Amino acid sequence: MADPVVVAGGGPGGMMLAYLLGRAGIPVTVLEAARDFDRDFRGDSLHPYTLELFAELGLAGDLLALPHVTARHFRFHTRAGAITVADYGKIDSPYPYIALMPQARFLDFLAAKVAALPGCSVRTGCKVTGLVQDHDRVTGARIRTGAGDEDVPARLVIGSDGRFSRLRRLADLPVRPLGAASDLLWFRLPRHEQDPADADLDLYFGRDNYAGLLTGTQGWQVGYTVPKGGFPAAREAGVDPIRRFIAGHIPWLADRAGRLTSFDQITLLSVAIARADRWWRPGLLLLGDAAHVISPVGGNGILMAVQDAVTAANHLIPLGAGPVPDAVLAAIQADREPAIRKVQHQQVRLERRVATARAAGRSISPPAILRLVTAVPGVRRRTARANAYGPNPPRLTC
């Protein structure tokens, strides 16, 4: 039997590609460093594109039987009032919403589907420590398990191990920072039955900070922004400024703000926007955040990784179990990079606007004209569609 495709990193992009290849009869081995997916991820958004893909694969019903919350709106909240930026209910889709599902459960679901395919396996507790090479071509991955070290042969190694990708470092394919002006302090607050039913995906703007609010099956996730590198100063100031922000800008959450008592309840999410100039080398391909780090603002990370997987599958499946030419790897990057550049360009613009406002002592709130623009018929639908599918969304052809 031909060597399998080895996927290093069991994130959304890698697991999605493993399933697409496996269902086409191509052997795949997924190597995941952790022993399970039972940890707290920050990306829980499944966009209409992703749900439609799962429907095409016959998996949407089973997936959506898992606990999740549906979000129809994306809103900005300013002192002048709420602005509905996107209304997913207006798009033409059988899934006119964002499904908010704990990423751990999403990955558990995909891992089970991959493991059930002939010739496919998901190996947890396998840390990739090196690349096996024949001259300049990658021919496998060296892993460390509880039983010792092992070489896993592969005709192609996929690096999908996230923003701090070890595979990227091993392959010497560095990313270039594109600019980020903020970091996020993440914490959870309980959800109450009387909370606003239409609080879905919301940004609450103050003068110098804003907070993102994300609903879910485990309560509210709150991301409070601080200037880039501002975590030490925020920790020194303690949780009181954050609690005051909540009381002043999200008053219906004020009764729970007191539950935030220590920085031990807060996780720093260092916002990064970065991209590798080259996503491949002979025998190896980077996907998702390993190739291009997406800011969490906007919730596009899973969507971009899944679309990377679809594009890669469209190129790799026609090869069957045969060798993977360098030209195919280059073509995958060429197909996906324009969309990634566009998404990252929009994110960099937002970061620069926030940084410029802070430096000038101006409020970081959205411009007043945004309320007029979003009131124009069709704008909320177009904005929702753009976010629901991303630029130039690939369709599965194999």
- The predicted pLDDT at position 334 comes to 98
**Same-domain status, 111 and 9:** yes
Residue 25 forms part of a structural domain: yes
- The predicted pLDDT at position 243 comes to 95
d(CA 23, CA 20): 5
Domain boundary among 211, 244, 269: 269
Say how many domains are in the chain: 2
**Other residues' Cβ atoms within 10 Å of the Cβ of residue 317:** 17
CA angle 100, 102, 104 (to 5 degrees): 145
CA angle 151, 154, 156 (to 5 degrees): 135
- The predicted pLDDT at position 208 comes to 85
The mean pLDDT value of the chain amounts to 91
**Same-domain status, 235 and 279:** no
- The predicted pLDDT at position 40 comes to 67
Task: Name the band, by pLDDT with cuts 50, 70 and 90, for residue 41.
Answer: low
**Same-domain status, 190 and 263:** yes
- The predicted pLDDT at position 1 comes to 58
d(CA 282, CA 360): 48
Backbone angles phi, psi at 282, to 5 degrees: -50, 120
Q: Which residue has the higher pLDDT, 38 or 223?
A: 223
- If you search the block for the tokens 């002043």, which residue do you land on? 248
Task: Name the band, by pLDDT with cuts 50, 70 and 90, for residue 54.
Answer: very high
- If you search the block for the tokens 């269902």, which residue do you land on? 23
Per-residue pLDDT of 186-201, as tens digits, reads 999 999 988 887 777 8
**Same-domain status, 155 and 206:** no
Residue 319 forms part of a structural domain: yes
What does the pLDDT average to over 161-171?
94
What does the pLDDT average to over 313-341?
96
- The predicted pLDDT at position 363 comes to 80
**Same-domain status, 39 and 132:** yes
- Pairing state between β 175-177 and 274-276: antiparallel
**pLDDT beyond 90 at 264:** yes
Domain boundary among 313, 334, 349: 349
- If you search the block for the tokens 């191509």, which residue do you land on? 26
Residue 32 forms part of a structural domain: yes
User: The domain spanning residue 173 has which CATH number?
Assistant: 3.50.50.60
**pLDDT beyond 90 at 146:** no
Residue 294 forms part of a structural domain: yes
Contact of 132 with 139, CB cutoff 8 Å: yes
Residue 84 forms part of a structural domain: no
Contact of 273 with 181, CB cutoff 8 Å: no
CA of 327: how far to CAs of 60, 136, 164, 396, in Å?
A: 34, 15, 26, 20
**Amino acid, single-letter form, for residue 307:** Q
What does the pLDDT average to over 234-244?
95
Give the chain's radius of gyration (CA, Å). Answer: 21
**Same-domain status, 256 and 277:** no
Q: Which domain holds residue 202?
A: 182-227+230-269
Per-residue pLDDT of 361-397, as tens digits, reads 888 877 767 777 777 778 899 999 999 999 999 999 9
